[in-house]
Structure formats: C-alpha cells, structure tokens
Amino acid sequence: MNKAGSVERRSAIEALGVSKIFGNGDDAVRALDNVDVTIGENEFFTLLGPSGCGKTTLLRLIAGFDFPTEGEIRLYGEDIAPLPPFKRPVNTVFQNYALFPHMTVAQNIGFGLEMLGKPKSEIDERVTQMLRLVRMEELRNRRTSQISGGQQQRVALARALAPRPKVLLLDEPLSALDFKLRKDMQIELKRLQHETGITFIFVTHDQEEALTMSNRIAVMSKGHILQIGSPRDIYDRPAERFVANFIGDTNFLEGKVKSFAKGKARIALAAGGEVDAGISEGVEPKGNVTIVVRPEHAAILAKPGKDALKGTLETIVYFGTDTHFHVKLASGPHFIIRQQNRHGAEDEFKTGMPVGVEIGANAAQVLKD
C-alpha cells in the first residue's frame, strides 16, 4: 500500500482488518476483504471505485448500518464497530438524500438535534445557522417535496452537519445532480468541509470528482483498497494497472528493467529507447514490466530526435481546449498524446505522417502488476 501523501494528523477513523461477507454458504459475497485504512482528522477522504467495489459497504460499516464480519472500526481510537448508528457521532448524506417527506426543511435539519434532546431554542438557532451555511434561509418552512434536487441536496447536507458529527459520510451525494449543479456542489462541499473542519469521507465512482475534491483518495476494486494517496499521487503515479485505467486515460508500454535505484528505474522499452520511470514504494521491479504514461505527459514531434519513439499519426481529435493525437508506434501498440491548443499554433500535423513520441522527464511510472 502506498503511504505517500499521508499527512501527519490525528486519525479520525481507522479500519483494521475489516472484512464484510454478505449471505452465507455458496451465496456468500465477500464485499470487503481485510481492508486497512486510516483517515485523518479534518481530511477530505474519498473512496473511489466502480460499483460493487465495496466502497459503499465500507461507508455503511462506518455509519453502523451494517456490522463488519471481521475487524475493527475505530473512531478516535475507540472501537465503534458494535455500536448502532444512533450511538455514533457520525452522520451520513445519502445518495437519494432520504429527506423526511412529512417534515419541513427546518424540521429535517433539526431532527438530529431533537433526537439528541437539545432544547428548542438551541435547535432553532442551529437550524438558522445551518440554513445560512448552505444558503437556503428563505426555504426554511418549505416541504421537502417543494424544493429542487439541488436544494434537497443542500438540506441533506445541512441535516447531516447540524448535530456537528465527528465524521461526515457522503454516499455519492452528487450523482443525481446535473452537470452544472454538480460542479457547483463540488466547490460548495469543499467550502463546507473547510468551514466546518469536519472529517469528510466521500464515496464516488467519478474519478474527476475524486481528483478535484479530495485530500486523499483510496482506489478500491473487488473489496480491496489498491492504492491510497493524494490526487496527484494517484494520477501521476498509479501503482497498479486497475488504478491507472480507472483514473484518466493512460498509455501502457512494455519494457525491461535495466537498473533501479531508490524510487526510480531505468527501463528499456520494447518500442525502442529508454526512459526513467518512478517506482511505487515497496516494489522492486525486475524483468519485464509495464510502465504507464499519461497522454499529456508526452509530446508529439514532427521531426523526432533519435531518442523518440517512432510511429505513424493515425487520428487527430480536436477537443477545443486540447487535441488528442493517436499514434501507432512502429513496434505495434497505440499511444495517445494530449496537447493543449495554443492560440495561433500552426497545424503542422497531418494523419498518416511519420511522427515521434517523446516521453517527458519523470512522466513514466512502473506498475506493480
């Protein structure tokens, strides 16, 4: 596991050897398999993965809706795994918001405090404060069925934040919103996390959402955490093929390890030439390996130097902000290069012409598998 990017903080949530098995006998499904993760105080931590990877299961174990088959879940050092949800200072923002339809916006937001037995004056004050925080003051007495999806989202956030939980869990809260609203809410969530100082654990399958919002990301697949790191770590230095594939576009190149030192290896590429590639912590590459190069970390050259990989330009796709060049390398594989479009740049490339591909310094990363 890659510990790079972890920040020195008190740990808010620790999962220790957590497994969750649903069903029994032949129908048993191992949703989580021996997961270890430490989430720091005041961190925006994202569990990222495709559906069925176990990210929501982990979130539900932390919330208390399910109980782990094995392992411990600690909240500030205390094992909370056997506690029911109403005894955990942890609140959840649900994917479908789960607002109470028979209550007003204010009653929804005040519900948690009311259940905690807070006096009415305190609840009113806190509800007002929360409504201001999510900028919904004027909708205080509306029914939840009378407000839009984005507004419901804000009420759900306010409701979960009102009791000042130690940790806020967010289960794909933005997936039901349209694109524009989702962008706004991403910024809004960052702001809320910053202003409240509460630890956020965010579950999503949207890699872009994860990259833009998180302090750290845990990439999950089939009940395992494959890699934990800062967005930059995860994007620039994916440790495994799955991580590289799941996040962004990637070029895979085969090669042979020539030599390696601390954190770096010299790789002789099957496509010709040699590159320096980063190595994930705890990996000792040898023999045949795969390296990854992000499309924007390589350059396309009309007049290649001798170190560049040779190929033929097959397709040019114009995207407005940038252009993608699909190159078929002389050695066989395809390679995609993304280049930002600069104003006034000449169209020097034509499909079918021979081109060179130059991999930037420190752009390549050796995969574990």
Enumerate binding residues for another protein (CB under 8 A): 63-65, 84-86, 90-92, 94, 96, 98-102, 111-112, 115-116, 159-160, 163
Measured from the CB of residue 74, what is the shortest distance to another protein in angstroms?
Answer: 19
Cα 304 to the chain's mean position, in Å?
A: 37
Closest among 111, 171, 172, 107 to 143, alpha carbons compared: 107
Which residue lies nearer to another protein by CB, 136 or 160?
160
Which residue lies nearer to another protein by CB, 192 or 244?
192
Which residue lies nearer to another protein by CB, 3 or 87?
87
Which residue lies nearer to another protein by CB, 85 or 354?
85
Measured from the CB of residue 9, what is the shortest distance to another protein in angstroms?
Answer: 25
Which residue lies nearer to another protein by CB, 164 or 326?
164
The per-residue DSSP string of 233-256 comes to HHHHS--SHHHHHHSS--EEEEEE
Q: With beta carbons less than 8 A apart as the criterion, state whether 224 and 48 touch.
A: no
C-alpha distances (whole Å) from 208 to each of 184, 213, 214, 343 are: 14, 9, 10, 26
Which residue lies nearer to another protein by CB, 108 or 290?
108
Measured from the CB of residue 15, what is the shortest distance to another protein in angstroms?
Answer: 19
How far apart (Å, rounded) are the C-alpha atoms in residues 330 and 346? 26
Phi, psi dihedral angles at 52 (to 5 degrees): 85, 10
Give the number of other CB atoms < 10 A from CB of residue 89.
14
Which residue lies nearer to another protein by CB, 116 or 302?
116
Measured from the CB of residue 51, what is the shortest distance to another protein in angstroms?
Answer: 17
Measured from the CB of residue 102, what is the shortest distance to another protein in angstroms?
Answer: 5
How far apart (Å, rounded) are the C-alpha atoms in residues 162 and 131? 10
Closest among 101, 196, 114, 189 to 152, alpha carbons compared: 101
Measured from the CB of residue 302, what is the shortest distance to another protein in angstroms?
Answer: 57
The per-residue DSSP string of 7-40 comes to ----EEEEEEEEEEEES-GGG-EEEEEEEEEEEE
Measured from the CB of residue 40, what is the shortest distance to another protein in angstroms?
Answer: 23
Torsion-angle region of 135 (φ positive above 0: left; ψ -120 to 50: alpha; else: beta): left
Measured from the CB of residue 52, what is the shortest distance to another protein in angstroms?
Answer: 19
Which residue lies nearer to another protein by CB, 98 or 268?
98
Which residue lies nearer to another protein by CB, 101 or 320?
101
For residue 335, the cross-strand partners are 327
Starting at the edge strand found earlier in the chain, the sheet holding 29-40 runs: 29-40, 11-22, 70-75, 78-79
Closest among 194, 192, 195, 200 to 165, alpha carbons compared: 200
Q: Where are the alpha helices (DSSP H) in 54-178?
A: 55-63, 105-115, 120-133, 149-161
Measured from the CB of residue 115, what is the shortest distance to another protein in angstroms?
Answer: 4
Which residue lies nearer to another protein by CB, 107 or 365?
107
Q: How many helices (H) and strands (E) does the chain have?
A: 8, 20
Measured from the CB of residue 93, what is the shortest distance to another protein in angstroms?
Answer: 10
How far apart (Å, rounded) are the C-alpha atoms in residues 331 and 64? 53
